[in-house]
Structures are given as structure tokens and as C-alpha cells.
Amino acid sequence: MKQEWMTVFKSVVTYALTLGSLIFLLYLSALVPEAAIYPNLESSALALLEEDPKAMVVENSYHSMKDNYADAVLLGVIANVSSEAPYYTMIITRYYDGEEYGEAYGVYARIHGTPSNTDYTRYWHGSMAVLRPLLAVTDLDGIKVVTAVTMILCYGLLCVMLVRKKMVPLAVMFLLSLLSVQVWYVPHSVEFAITFVIMGVITPLYVRFYKEDDKLILLSVISGCVTAFADFLTTETITLLVPLLLVYGMREEEGLNKSFRGNVFHLIKNGAAYLVAYAMTFVTKWCLAGSL
């Protein structure tokens, strides 16, 4: 019982440190001057205006559809953040919807002085912590390249770790799972890529500590917090289920899995840690917004 309470205490501390660090990074990103990001925001908006909000990477291939609409909204939120009022504008997140001209035009109009007219405060939009500094050096297309490279490096590292642990079948299964969802289309939309990047970063840590239950729970807390902070309801389950399935496979390979009941309990514990952290991250945002 004492050990369980210690795990709960560590989870609470881990959650507080994780969310506190994320908020601090978001605040730092809000300090980036608008003059530094507006040129790339403008070129990104103009590029989006040339495409359909639901453009397809491959013509007549529905599964290759991008979500330019969501990317335009995210850029609109970023455009509304002011380095002169960083805390307020990073918490009270708004954008200009472009009215009949659409969200991509809204980004262009916002950086040219049109006030925001749409509230989107219910989400953190925490990906701004990375995207806003990146916009100081590149546009949306460049960010997509950075995203693709990051995914390749993370997934490559994961496969190398599995191979070095002589878990080649698991590495192959992981690669096949990526192929099955045609992962090469993911970086074409920043919205879709967010959770795939989080999954790519967190999963190697699960693989590193696959034997240590307490550390896995802490990782689940971190994953739930980061996912709620950065994503807005896309494919968030992959940031928990993919690493846990690999952990299960590694344990099965080494004969470390317990009874069926024990495996289910292990899944429930990690799932609960993830869900509580995920929910509390949203609650924290709403409380902070309500205080302003």
C-alpha cells in the first residue's frame, strides 16, 4: 500500500512538473516578436489560399486528404498571440475565421490588422510552443519538412532500440503498422502530425523502461499531459496504445508477462494515469482562462 501511494505521489509531482514546463515553454514562444513570424505566416497563408481546405496529396485519393482548414486555424491562433500580452493571448486563444473567404484568408487578414472574431480557448494549442519559434525561420511547408524528418528520426531510433534488444519481429510489426496507415501522408498536415511526433518521442522511453512498472506509469502521465496540451482531438490514443503494445510484446518475448488479469490491471493503471493527466490538463486550461 505504501508503494502504491508513493507511485501516486510521484505521478502528481511528475504531472505538475510536466505541465509547468509546458506552460513555461508556451510563454517563451509567445515572447517571439510578431515581426519575426509575420513574413512566414503571410507566405503560409497565401500558400493555403491556393489550395482547397481539404486538398488531396494524390488526386482522387480520399485517404491522402490534407486538413488545410485545421492548419489555417492553428496559424490563425498563432497570429493572434501578442508578445506584448503573452500570457493573456496564449491562454485566451482566438483567431479570425475569414468569414466568407475562409480561415486561410483569416490568417492573412489577421496579420494585416483585422481583429479576431472566433474564440478557441477550450484547447491549449500547445504546439505553438514549437511552431511559433519555427515560423521565425521557415514557413508552413518548411515546418512540414521538419516534422517529417523528426518522425523519421524518432521511428528510426525506436527500431534500432528494438533490434539491439533482439526484438526484430516487434520492429517489423511497428514498421508494418506505419505502412498500414500510410504514414507518409501524415506530415502533409501539421494537425495530423502532432500526435505522431509525440508518439515517436515517447515510445522509445517506454521501450527503455519496459520492465519498470512505476516508470511506465510516470511516462503515461507525461504522455497524457503532453497530448492534451498539444493536440486537439485527432489520433491521441496512439500516444498511449502504441507504446503499451510494444511493452506488452517485449515482456511477452522475455516471459515477463503475468497472468491475463495482471496484464489487464497493468493496462488499466497506465490508462488511468494517462486519462487523469489528459483530463486535468484540459481542466487547468479552463481554470486559467476563467481567472482572466
User: How confident is the model over 106-125, as pLDDT tens digits?
Assistant: 999 999 999 999 999 999 99
- Please give the Cα distance from 71 to 54 (Å, whole number): 11
pLDDT band, residue 170 (cuts 50/70/90) = very high
| Average pLDDT over all residues of the chain | 93
Q: Helices 128-135 and 34-49, interaxial angle, to 10°?
A: 90
* Cβ–Cβ under 8 Å, residues 29 and 134: no
User: How confident is the model over 47-101, as pLDDT tens digits?
Assistant: 999 988 888 888 888 888 889 999 999 999 999 999 999 999 999 999 999 998 9
Phi, psi of 115 (to 5 degrees): -70, 155
Q: Tell the burial category of 244 from Cβ atoms under 10 Å away from its Cβ (0-12, 13-18, 19+).
A: buried
* Torsion sign, CA atoms 26, 29, 33, 35: negative
pLDDT of residue 101: 92
pLDDT of residue 218: 96
Beta bridge partners of 59: none
- For residue 228, CA distances in Å to 62, 89, 114, 222, 272 come to 28, 19, 30, 10, 14
pLDDT band, residue 2 (cuts 50/70/90) = low
Query: Is it the case that residue 103 has pLDDT exceeding 80?
Result: yes
Mean pLDDT for the stretch of residues 198-224: 95
All three cell numbers of 247, joined, read 511493452
* Cβ–Cβ under 8 Å, residues 257 and 251: yes
- Please give the Cα distance from 134 to 30 (Å, whole number): 12
pLDDT of residue 232: 85
Query: Is it the case that residue 104 has pLDDT exceeding 90?
Result: yes
Beta bridge partners of 218: none
* Cβ–Cβ under 8 Å, residues 15 and 220: no
Geometric angle at alpha carbon 121, from 117 and 124, rounded to 5°: 135
Q: Which spans in 116-212 are helix H?
A: 128-135, 140-164, 168-180, 190-208
Pairwise pLDDT comparison (2 vs 124), residue with the higher score = 124
User: How confident is the model over 252-292, as pLDDT tens digits?
Assistant: 888 877 777 777 888 899 999 999 999 999 999 999 999 98
Which percentage of the chain shows pLDDT scores above 70?
Answer: 99
- Give Cα 132 distance to the centre of its chain: 14
Of 220, 209, 218, which is closest to residue 9 (Cα–Cα)? 218
pTM greater than 0.85 (yes/no): yes
Element housing 118 (H / E) = strand 118-119
Query: Is it the case that residue 172 has pLDDT exceeding 70?
Result: yes
Mean pLDDT for the stretch of residues 230-255: 91
